[in-house]
Copies of this chain bind each other. A is one copy, B any other.
Amino acid sequence: MTNSCLVAKLGKFASLSEGDSAMLEALERDEREYRKDQLIQRRGNPIDEMFVVKSGWLTSFSVLDDGRRQLLRLFFSGDIVDLSNVALTVSQHDIKALTPAVLCPFPKSGLEPLFHSSPRLTALLFSMTVRENATLLGRIRAIGRFNAYERLCYLILELGSRLRLAAGHQYAPDGFRIPLTQSDIADLLGLTNVYVSKTMSRIEKDGLIERHGNRIIICEPKRMQNICEFEDSEQIDTSWFPLR
């Protein structure tokens, strides 16, 4: 049994050899702790390291000159922050901790051995990236064409799905905790905190969810899935992967 978050996550999608696991574990050799709200990466700074998330929630976001803010993505256990940076020399956006977090920093060159000696693991990493890509397309659809009610349903289902996957496909009867303020949610979905509040109340009144603090229970997953045409696609196609 490993305590590597990457192995835990990637292992859900494809079998990993001893060597593959060892390479992933190497990326998590160091640990660094961050407190809530601590800035992890600043826009415009050179990118010299990336991170594996061991615990906690992070977000990358972009702030416009006049203060408008857009949250771009959420990272948690087993995610690599920010793999998008692998192609860049300078960070495009800010990243901060939404909760206390433990990260494992590694240099960009840490990926080189992986690309060099395990085509199969590389294909897996590639597929994960492409899959995140599909998640972003879903968000574009939601922000571009959904009203506030639909967007919130979508976000709740998406987070529920990701958290269930991280927790090993279990449905949690007591729901899940979302460490986001309503302003954060607004900035994720292109809304305002005020309207998020009003719309969440409506969703709750309609019996789709229950709220207890920032813990959410999804009461009517089917109805919610219909509302925002949400489909859970958790598996990836490994059929074309190199054998090793």
Which chain A residues numbered 39 to 97 have a C-beta less than 8 Å away from chain B?
47, 60, 62, 64-65, 68-70, 72-73, 83-84, 86-89, 92-93
Chain B: CB-nearest residue to A235 = B89
Interface window among A18-26, A106-114, A174-182: A106-114
Q: Is A172 an interface residue (CB 8 A)?
A: no
Question: Which single member of B108, B122, B127 contacts A122 (CB below 8 Å)?
Answer: B122
A130 on interface, CB distance cutoff 8 Å: yes
Q: Give Cα A139–Cα B136 distance, bound, in whole angstroms.
A: 10
Select which of B144, B231, B239 is within 8 A of A70 by beta carbon: B144
With a cutoff of 8 Å between Cβ atoms, the chain B residues found around residue A87 in the complex are 127-128, 130-131, 134, 236-237
> Which residues from B are CB-within-8-Å of A47?
237
Minimum distance in angstroms from A141 CB to a CB of chain B: 4
A119, CB-defined interface residue at 8 Å: yes
Nearest CB on B from A175, distance (A): 26
Contacts A72-B140, A139-B140: A108 and B145 contacting too (C-beta < 8 A)? no
Quick one: which of A99-134 are within 8 Å of B by CB? 108-109, 111-112, 115-116, 119, 122-123, 125-134
Q: Which residues 165-193 in A have Cβ within 8 Å of B in the complex?
A: 187, 189-190
Specify the chain B residue showing the minimal Cβ separation from A47: B237
Across the interface, A236 reaches (CB within 8 A) one of B68, B88, B109, B242, namely B88
Chain B neighbourhood of A233, CB < 8 A? 88, 92
On whether the beta carbons of B145 and A190 are closer than 8 Å, the reply is: yes
Task: Indicate if the CB atoms of B134 and A88 lie closer than 8 Å.
Answer: yes
Q: Are A237 and B70 in contact (CB under 8 A)?
A: no
Q: Give a binary string over A142-174; 1 marks a CB under 8 Å from any B CB, 0 the rest.
A: 011100000000000000000000000000000
